[in-house]
Structure 1
């Protein structure tokens, strides 16, 4: 029972950590979004990355529920997190230079 709960959480974590890729759909379709929509979308991407990272770590933390799906979602979420941290660091560096 406990392992099936973690399978659902790991699948949810993988889906949530892939949601920031939806940002590319308007560009592929040639749709130009207004600034407010892009700002909201960027905020949601940050929330999706953090939620995916928390869910992934909660599944990987338990040795019984560790599987390849959890590891993949953890790696993807970690890459997104490092990208966000890098963008924030570069932005702060440029602003205070």
Structure 2
């Protein structure tokens, strides 16, 4: 280490990590009200099968992308979102 510099703690989060983590949290949490409403009411008539199918595949691809990059905020957020989206998609197919 050059003279006059301080060592950074190993757990220091970069600004990029912070932005990615906040984005992951906000987008996942914003999905929860729709998921909870659908679970409670089993009302899926307002949900487009095509849109939810494409959305679920897209989330799965984001999960793979995050795994390939070892981007854990992306991985964790998309695991949660994929589980919720898949459950809603199954409900759409079952209750239509």
TM bin, normalised by shorter chain, reads 0.3 to 0.5
Query: With structure 2 as the length reference, what TM-score do the two structures score?
Result: 0.45
Query: With structure 1 as the length reference, what TM-score do the two structures score?
Result: 0.45
